[in-house]
A and B are shown apart, each in its own frame.
Chain A
Amino acid sequence: VKRRAFSLAVAALLAAATASHAQTIRDAPAAWSGFWLPTPAYVPMGQGFPPPPLKPEAKAQLDAARAKIRAGGVPDYCRPLKFVGYSWGNTAEVEVLVTPGRLTLIADDGLVRRIYLGAVRPPADPPPTNAGLSIGKWDGDTLVVETTGLNPAAGFPFPLPGAPALGENARVVERIRLADNDTLIFEVETTAPDILAAPDAKRFVYKRQAKEIAYATPLCVDDDRSTDGKGGQRFDMTPPKDLPPPPRD
């Protein structure tokens, strides 16, 4: 009798745990799936946004890095992409995939972010990765995503050579919601105690792209006419080999 009672108790506990798990995991609506483009159509290096509240030393570092780019330098375009809250993961076109228990964001630039939904408790000190560890929880119809474990070496706010590094203990909180069937809103707040004097808050509006085929925008390609692969820019005017002859006068 005792064994039977114990088995029933275990079964009841398992059933309760399963029910609890089912209640806490709530997938994103299927309508979130698709290709989304930020509007205005890009957030070029933060243009149109207030500058991040960098600490003075970090601001000076970013200003110097930007000056180098303006003078003809190139960003770290052939390096692994790193999520810092925006840019290289949230500013270009993004494909949203809805699957059970997970939301996946694939940035046009190539960064893949996996957001785990439901009853997942993030480890206290996740090892750093380029996308970080993202856990999503629902607040009504808004998905609140907390990302930790970000790469402390990531350039902030953009992957410019010499840009301030994100630093330790950075954290990104995103509030994502579907405003209407064709509008996805990201409200993003980055906390980075090493370089930010206050949280950096941004709001991105994405519009659904109605197209059947995704066109990725790889930045790291062979025979790039615009960069020399050594950190410099160029404008390579070597004519294509199959160029047709000029028209007759």
Chain B
Amino acid sequence: VRMSRRSWVLGATAACAVPSSGAAHHSYAMFDLTRVLTIRGVVAKVEWVNPHVFIWAYIPKPGGGHDLYAFETDPVSRLVAEGWTKDSLPPGEKVTIEYAPLKDGRPGGSLRRAKRANGTMLETRASRGRS
């Protein structure tokens, strides 16, 4: 059963108020956890590293060209538990990303979930209401 957008945002907000143990090396104060934005773009690169996997994506700009976005997400072990592999988002693939934006306005944030071009949804702890 998928949670409503509002409920899982609130759940994630509450859960992320303090960092988790596995990801407990920084807080989420830099992210606006009250908002979840959705953007579409092309995967540039996945940095499959601990303690946070980083996903880079080119997002088209209205007037042409692209912005480079960065999204922080779970450690490798947690993504593997969610069914991810390091090849789940190959470079060049179209992707739809839901994320909590950075408060400072830079292009990026904390990944909630990613939808592949084939419709497969890649979940994270945050998207499941636990962070």
Contact = CB atoms under 8 A, between A and B. Distances in A.
Interface in A63-105: 66, 69-75, 77-78, 87-88, 91-93
Contact of A44 (B50, B92, B130): B130
Contacts of B108: 235, 237
A242 B18 contact: no
Interface string B16-45: 011111101111011000000000001011
Contacts of A91: 21-22
Interface string A139-172: 0000000000000000000110000000000000
Contacts of B45: 240, 242-244
B54 interface: yes
B77 A42 contact: no
B23 to A, nearest CB: 8
Given A44-B15, A74-B27, A243-B44, A215 B131 contact: no
A interface SS class: loop
Nearest to A238: B70
Q: How large is the interface on A (under 10, 10 to 19, 20 to 34, 35 or more residues)?
A: 35 or more
A95 B42 CA distance: 37
Contacts, number: 154
B72 A239 contact: no
B interface SS class: loop
A217 B22 contact: yes
Contacts of A47: 15, 18
Closest CB pairs A-B (n = 10): A44-B20, A77-B25, A233-B26, A215-B77, A246-B66, A72-B29, A217-B75, A45-B18, A246-B58, A91-B21
16 contacts: A44-B131, A45-B24, A71-B27, A109-B22, A215-B76, A219-B51, A224-B25, A224-B51, A225-B70, A226-B72, A227-B26, A233-B29, A243-B44, A247-B42, A247-B58, A247-B92
Given A37-B81, A45-B20, A249-B65, 19 more contacts: A40-B130, A44-B19, A44-B20, A70-B17, A71-B27, A72-B27, A93-B22, A158-B21, A215-B80, A224-B51, A225-B70, A226-B26, A226-B72, A227-B26, A233-B30, A235-B104, A246-B66, A247-B92, A249-B64
